[in-house]
Amino acid sequence: MSVSTASLSDALDSLGLPGSLHGISALRPGQRVAGPVFTVTYEPVDGTGGTVGDFLDDVPAGAVILIDNAGRTDCTVWGGIMSQTARELGIAGTVINGTCRDVAVAASAGYPLWSVSKFMRTGKDRVRVAAVQAPVVVDGVTIAPGDILVADDDGAVAVPAARWEEVRGIAQRIDDVEEAIVEAVRGGATLAAARAQHGYHSLQTRKDHS
């Protein structure tokens, strides 16, 4: 599963599928995860009774948690206790349509995180878990539990589980072609000639792959 999010995004474009999650960024360089999504949806509460992280004990090892707090950035849905617990549980990483805190703790625990922002005000008494393992919509992309979420330095991409092998295969071929272009340039070709030879400009263009 080592294809880049860039090539996965191009592969999705070529199939006319959505999946690239605009607005969500890596919190630090060098992180990468790929795995089945465990979805969590938050909702606002007025006053007391809300909290964050109640679902964490139920997430299986290897899953990538996707938290949808509707892009809200004025209070957290993730913090350092959660990063360290997730690490203990063997959870692959967390992608947040919202914000998180204690990011230095996540870094020292080596726990991978992606989010809209980082901000220190807690979501306790401000939000609560509304649903787990229900479909979520992020940036217009519907993501169902078990879809494959891949995240790296360039951001996060979701691929429907039923299309994963197809999308991964196309993305792998795109990675190979891009490598061949660079090899051709190293071998003395101009960029224009190398790109033309390998069909660079239409790698992501919508097409019939059959």
Ligand X SMILES: O=C([O-])CC(=O)C(=O)O
* Chain residues that interact with ligand X, rule: CB under 6 A: 52-53, 76, 78-82, 101-102, 122-124
Query: Which tokens belong to 26?
Result: 């890596």
124 binds, among ligand X, Mg ion, none (CB under 5 to 8 A by kind): ligand X
Closer residue to ligand X, CB minimum distance, 11 or 82: 82
155 binds Mg ion (CB under 5 A): no
How many residues are there in the chain? 210
Q: How far apart are CA 23 and CA 46, in angstroms?
A: 26
Q: Give the nearest distance from C-beta 81 to Mg ion in angstroms.
A: 5
123 binds, among ligand X, Mg ion, none (CB under 5 to 8 A by kind): ligand X
Residue type, 54: D
124 binds Mg ion (CB under 5 A): no
Closer residue to ligand X, CB minimum distance, 104 or 162: 104
Task: Tell me the site size for Mg ion, rule CB under 5 A.
Answer: 3
Closer residue to ligand X, CB minimum distance, 116 or 170: 116
98 binds Mg ion (CB under 5 A): no
The 3-state DSSP class for residue 8 equals helix
Among 79, 112, 123, 155, the residue binding Mg ion under the rule CB under 5 A is 79
93 binds Mg ion (CB under 5 A): no
Q: Give the nearest distance from C-beta 94 to Mg ion in angstroms.
A: 14
Closer residue to Mg ion, CB minimum distance, 31 or 76: 76
44 binds, among Mg ion, ligand X, none (CB under 5 to 8 A by kind): none
Q: How far apart are CA 66 and CA 7, in angstroms?
A: 21
On the CB side of 175, how many CA atoms lie within 13 Å of its CA?
A: 15
Burial 76-92 (b: 16+ CB within 10 A, else e): bbbbbebbbbbeeeebb
Kindly tell me the sign of the dihedral angle through the C-alpha atoms of 170, 175, 176, 181.
positive
Q: How far apart are CA 52 and CA 208, in angstroms?
A: 44
